[in-house]
Structure 1
């Protein structure tokens, strides 16, 4: 196995804390892995990752913790490229319908279960049989982050092959057109309950340690306890303000 698999964590009884990385630094990915979170997420949609930095980050961090690649788009090209890095899971953004969810699942599986193209440098290091075996351990997650996704969540959750749901709270607030916590909480609970009815783990973007702990208390399986951008920004601000004080 070229990576530490993510699926066993989804099946386990403990919550999974995530560190979210967007700055495109393989060195920071190694630092994050050294902190031993449940897993790290490399944000290929909004982050600064290119193909080389992605491969380097997975090579460094994937030996210590599972790596989730939040791909740039729900296409076979973007999903396949994310998984070719050796990531143990792909997280597909902006899924709004059952058909889109099925496309994500198909793109994450090799034939005959799906349409993922065989190849990539890292998957083929140990040969084709090892590539196919590793492909069978990939976890496919879909992000629910629009009003349409919430409205279709029961149909999305029923799609075979989805391993977990993940709520993108920032885009969901934009889509809903409000930051009203009661409104957003209703949306999040509907997604959470749809996952529960299917016996499926549900995650949520939180962003801080305290918010992640609150999410775990509500029953969410996955939550983000820190992001590289926020940690760096807060650390620099604390240092400059502290020295001036």
Structure 2
């Protein structure tokens, strides 16, 4: 992985740099702090399905700032959810369950200050860091959306062409549910992912895909996806416990 501070995340995305993400759901700032020292290219704090409360989320962003870029997967595509995540100091947002170009445009607008959008300025961290610096950081905010449904796949090209959009991340879990293949792999799923990647290539934006193991992340990177998930805190902790207990039982 590249030097974490070699440039803004938006700049690195536009340059085509491959990025390995660490995904955080358990809602504890100390785990985020450890992840920030892992060498990952960026962290994703999952506010949609994770255990995060506002205070611990703010703490997690604070202990990560200056060490690694942080994206927030917001709970919903709303001005409040997107604006509050950015007010915490994140480098960008991932907006879930986007199915149309209109929804993608709404997400971009919620992340931009007037006259380019409808984001409201404020927040505890911006006021403590200085409002000028807060406004400057807004110029480098990354806006990503997640395609996770059959309808989203059908509109992938229009979504990818949305002005101001930086990336699309495929949510493989929800996409498999939408396809009715959650209990097993499917060629249809693979074709759907390829549609999104091709749409991103045509639009000149980054494509990403949620992966659940190092091996899958490496394979997807070879497939041409710019962003992959190299680890998530749930599996990392659960897996470490399981391995330790198994090794102990075997040694006993």
- When normalised by structure 1's length, the TM-score is 0.96
Q: Which residue of 2 aligns with 1:86?
A: 89
Structure 2 unaligned runs (5+)?
A: none
What's the Cα RMSD here?
A: 1.3
TM (normalized to structure 2)? 0.94
Structure 1 residue ranges (4+ consecutive) displaced by more than 3 angstroms after TM superposition: none
Q: Who is 1:46 aligned against?
A: 49
Q: Do structure 1's residue 30 and structure 2's residue 9 form an aligned pair?
A: no
Q: 2:106 aligns with which of 93, 103, 107?
A: 103
User: Aligned-pair distance for 1:147?
Assistant: 0.5
Contact 1:124 1:130 in 2 (8 A): no
In the comparison of the two structures, how many residue pairs are matched?
A: 243
Task: Kindly provide the CA deviation profile for residues 23-63 of structure 1, in whole angstroms up to 9, marking residues without a partner as x.
Answer: 00110101111111010100000000111111100110122
Q: Counterpart of 1:8?
A: 11
What is the SS of the residue equivalent to 1:90? strand
Q: What's the CA shift string for 1:82-130, capped at 9, x where partnerless?
A: 1111000100000001110011000011111111110011122233222
Does residue 211 in structure 1 map to residue 208 in structure 2?
Answer: no
**1:243 corresponding residue in structure 2:** 248
Contact 2:16 2:206 in 1 (8 A): no
Are 2:191 and 1:180 aligned? no
Match of 2:194 in 1: 189
Q: Which runs of 5+ in 1 are unaligned?
A: none
What SS does the aligned partner of 1:118 have? coil
